[in-house]
């Protein structure tokens, strides 16, 4: 398994913490390696021992939020396989996206925070691997197979509608003022009800739930390795 720089180096951990603080405070635009090094109390050259470029450092920082999201979902599924029900898993995905600032920023393409790195090839890859479209591509066929989604609707149409619902809720909870959206005190139960209304009642038994959880864990393991290797090969 590929290792992260901060697992073996205290200076790398400080650099990442400093970069995270600075990006969240002022955004990526104009941020330099020298500023990050100064905040981390390391020499500028120490940063380049771990990351070849500013882009490698910052996009790797964003990817760590995606890894945190994957690890959290794996932890929850292992503790409670029932979390794989659409009415529970999709609201969880929304909540984690809201809670993890770089996941949220990449999903909504927040240029104010991420600047040109929003469209960096590795940022694009993160969205492709772990964004709403990828979730629908992997999850909907499994849900249909295991009595967790209606099957009287074309798969592509169903996945498209569910992706649109997920993207809409993400936009509503992350940028309500921009959208001039109607607001509720707690959007997560509303989203859960909307998922059930779209996919139909969940009639899965224990064997179906276990099979769905196993499939989810396999996909998440694969996604985690792809993102982890994408980070680590630039931190040798």
pTM of the model: 0.88
Which pLDDT score, from 0 to 100, does residue 170 have? 82
DSSP 150: -
Which pLDDT score, from 0 to 100, does residue 1 have? 47
> Do the beta carbons of residue 64 and residue 231 sit within 8 Å?
yes
Which pLDDT score, from 0 to 100, does residue 107 have? 86
Residue 2 scores a pLDDT above 80: no
Residue 177 scores a pLDDT above 50: yes
Report the percent of the chain where pLDDT is more than 90: 64
CA–CA dist 186, 135 (Å, integer): 23
> Do the beta carbons of residue 143 and residue 199 sit within 8 Å?
yes
> Do the beta carbons of residue 213 and residue 77 sit within 8 Å?
yes
User: Which band of pLDDT confidence, cut at 50, 70 and 90, is reported for residue 235?
Assistant: low
pLDDT (tens digit, 9 = 90+) per residue, 107-151? 888 999 999 999 998 898 888 888 877 888 889 999 999 999 999
User: Which band of pLDDT confidence, cut at 50, 70 and 90, is reported for residue 204?
Assistant: very high
């Amino acid at each position: 398994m590929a290792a992260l720089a901060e697992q073996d180096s205290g200076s790398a951990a400080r650099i990442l913490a400093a970069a995270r603080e600075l990006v969240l405070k002022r955004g990526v635009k104009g941020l330099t390696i020298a500023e990050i090094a100064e905040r981390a109390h390391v020499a500028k050259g120490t940063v380049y021992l771990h990351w070849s470029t500013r882009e490698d450092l910052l996009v790797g920082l964003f990817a760590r939020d995606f890894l945190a999201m994957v690890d959290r979902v794996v932890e929850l599924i292992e503790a409670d396989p029932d979390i794989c029900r659409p009415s529970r898993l999709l609201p969880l995905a929304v909540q984690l996206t809201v809670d993890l600032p770089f996941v949220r920023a990449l999903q909504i393409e927040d240029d104010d925070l991420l600047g040109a790195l929003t469209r960096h090839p590795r940022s694009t890859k993160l969205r492709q691997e772990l964004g709403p479209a990828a979730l629908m591509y992997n999850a909907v066929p499994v849900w249909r197979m295991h009595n967790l989604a209606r099957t009287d609707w074309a798969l592509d149409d169903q996945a498209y509608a569910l992706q649109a619902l997920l993207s809409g809720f993400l936009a509503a909870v992350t940028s309500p003022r921009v959208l001039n959206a109607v607001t509720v005190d707690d959007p997560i139960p509303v989203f859960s009800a909307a998922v059930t209304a779209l996919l139909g009642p969940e009639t899965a038994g224990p064997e179906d739930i276990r099979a769905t959880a196993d499939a989810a864990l396999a996909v998440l393991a694969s996604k985690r390795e792809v993102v982890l290797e994408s980070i680590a090969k630039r931190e040798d």
